[in-house]
Amino acid sequence: MISIMDVYQLLPKTNCKKCGFPTCMAFAVELLGKRKAIEDCPPLVEEPKYEKKLAGLRELMAPLLSTEATETGMVIHPERCYGCGNCVVACPVNVASDPKGTAIGRGPVSGKAILMVEDGVVKCVNVDQCRRFGPEKVLCNACIVTCPSKAIEFI
Amino acid sequence: MAFCTGCSLLCDDIEAEFEGGKVKRTMNLCRKGRAHYDSLSIDRLTPAVGGSEVRGEEAVTAAGELLAGAECPLLLGFGRSTLEAQKLGIELAKKLGSVIDDPTSRQGLIMERILKGEVPTCTFDDVRNYADVSIYWGDDPSSSHPRHLSRFSYFPRGEKRQRGYEEDREAIVIDVRRSPTATIAADGFFQVSPGGDAAFAEALLAALGGKIPKVEDKKRMLNLATKLRKAKFGAIFTGPGLADAQDGDLGWFFSLVARLNEFTRFSVIPSLPDYNTRGLHQSLFDVAGAVSPVSFEDGIASGPKFGVTGLLESFDAVLVVGSDPVANLPAPLARKLARIPMVAVGTHRNLTTDAASVTVPTAMAGLEAGGSALRSDGVRVDLEAQVKSDRPTDLQIVEMLMEVV
């Protein structure tokens, strides 16, 4: 998971306000929330002395901006997944929306589940129902801590 | 909905789409189950005699002749056969006056006590509904039975376990290594040295009796004892790590289970390797009052001395059904086994079929053929074919062998 301090360390830290925010820390928050892009920080892109920081920031943010991750930042590593369905059964959203299926350990039956096992590996659907979705997100980690093979991570 | 015969959990909520004899898309199948389904079209066995391909009937005839001509044949496997085929396989063993054994697991030692009613057991559904403590001893179901924890033993909500694993359940893993299951159990993991299971049980027994256990971390052991004493319904899942420990002497384990049952009900369910190992144990128990190896040479007798490990040199023909003993047995035994004239009946090519003089292909139960099987907790399920196949079933092959010998 990318820490806000890691992002901040790679910004100019001058609080120049050219991005429209009062401090670089505030910009880091926006950047991590995907509401602003790296290019919205003019000094970082234009001034050659920040070249190294810019490259570092792009590298740090690459997994977050890649299409591999869902909108909640969930990345599934299919090569590590056992397909055991622990995350499917432990997910609180699945339990609430699918009491006759995933809540009692079976495959999803209601169509509202957000995690399911397809072709032997876990798959994320209905992302907008995830607790980590949207600005009011809750940092739920039920699917990560229950995974025996570290196949799920949030970035 | 279909069944998966990839392991002894026999998951019954599988959705699968097939196209041209191959599996196209599956839902709810774990990785192991998916590989089992994928194997429909991979590395299938062909009928052969002496290394050259023949027609199916010719292979069965050659197999029958080889077995009929033998003085002391050995029947191995049957863990991946339907109940019907197993029962007839036992009849075949009787008719041949041979020994029948399943060398893939020594969990039969525990299963025999369960079938005799000396060790309490329950079904997986009871575990899901009532168990608040799940102990995995020498068992790593996350790797061997991937959906074990999510379907029954730890994560699902049940009748009396509505609040989920965080509040309502406790997982305790006793193993020699931090297995994937131990990773999930986190603080509930107790590491023992290889072969140190009995010493651990002794310390736990002392702690249960209120004595100070003779272990390094006394406080942790006492906490574990308190947890077990306060449990409402316990389940103990045993794996190969337990059954093969202590050289098959499991008296200490049975004493511990008996002691735990003085506080509350602790049920034992072995995690068996093949989809119908429980069926074989039950079928053998019904006939011989014991679990493999069973000898029909001179009446009915059983005991480890009759098995593949004890008597291998005295056998002059081997029939292997749905198993791969050459890969599973220790190398010196496997080498000896590979030198004996062997008939291999199975679904896929493996080391045993490569070493066999006669190979007979069969259909995969639950996918290409129906039949019934027992889940590892003893619940009977009826399997149905999902795809068409011209391969005969195990039952048909054993029927044909019964006629030939």
Residue A136 neighbours by CB under 8 Å, 6+ apart: none
Structure confidence at residue A68 (pLDDT): 64
| Element spanning B128, H or E | helix B124-130
Interface test with A, best of B10, B27, B150 (most A CBs within 10 A): B150
| Element spanning B269, H or E | strand B265-270
Rounded to whole angstroms, the Cα distance separating B203 from B135 reads 16
Rounded to whole angstroms, the Cα distance separating B105 from B96 reads 24
Residue tagged 């029939």 (tokens)? B319
Strand positions, DSSP E, chain A = 74-76, 115-118, 121-124, 152-154
Tell me: the pLDDT tens digits for B324-380? 999 988 888 888 889 899 999 999 999 999 999 999 999 999 999 999 999 999 999
Q: Is the pLDDT of residue A139 over 90?
A: no
Specify the 3-state DSSP secondary structure of B99. Answer: strand
Do B278 and B271 touch, CB atoms closer than 8 A? no
Tell me: the pLDDT tens digits for A72-98? 878 888 999 999 999 999 999 999 999
List chain A residues with CB under 8 Å of B171. Answer: none
Nearest CA in chain A to B150: A86
Q: What is the mean pLDDT of chain B?
A: 92
* pTM, 2 dp: 0.89
Tell me the average pLDDT across B21-48. Answer: 94
Least confident of A55-69, A73-87, B14-28, B137-151: A55-69
Tell me: the pLDDT tens digits for B118-151? 999 999 999 999 999 999 999 999 999 999 999 9
| Element spanning B125, H or E | helix B124-130
Do B239 and B213 touch, CB atoms closer than 8 A? no
Residue B75 neighbours by CB under 8 Å, 6+ apart: B89, B92, B93, B96, B98, B99, B100, B101, B318, B319, B321
Rounded to whole angstroms, the Cα distance separating B371 from B392 reads 13
Domains of chain A with CATH codes? 4-65 (1.10.15.40), 74-154 (3.30.70)
pLDDT band of residue B310 (cuts 50, 70, 90) is: low
Any idea of the CA torsion for B103, B104, B107, B108, to the nearest 10 degrees?
A: -40
Residue B92 CA: distances (Å) to CA of A5, B61, B85, B262, B405: 72, 15, 10, 43, 9
Q: Do A105 and B30 touch (CB under 8 A)?
A: no
Provide the residue ranges of all domains of chain B, joining segments of one domain with +: 45-105+275-369+385-404, 108-270
Structure confidence at residue B249 (pLDDT): 82
Structure confidence at residue B57 (pLDDT): 92
∠ Cα B38 B41 B47 (to 5°): 135
Architecture of domain B108-270: 3-Layer(aba) Sandwich (3.40)
Residue B52 neighbours by CB under 8 Å, 6+ apart: none
ipTM above 0.85, yes or no: yes
pLDDT band of residue B243 (cuts 50, 70, 90) is: confident
Nearest CA in chain A to B154: A86
Query: What is the DSSP-derived secondary structure letter of residue B149?
Result: I
Q: Do A90 and B164 touch (CB under 8 A)?
A: yes
> How close A78 gets to chain B, by Cα (Å)?
10
Q: Do A148 and B181 touch (CB under 8 A)?
A: yes
- Which of B30, B143, B181 is nearest residue A120 as measured by Cβ atoms? B30
CATH class, range B45-105+275-369+385-404: alpha beta
Candidates A90, A112, A110, A92; CA nearest to A101 is A110
Tell me: the pLDDT tens digits for B382-392? 999 999 999 99
Strands B301-302 and B133-137: unpaired
Structure confidence at residue B118 (pLDDT): 94
Residues in A lying within 8 Å of B, measured between beta carbons = 81-86, 88-90, 95, 103-107, 116-121, 146, 148-149
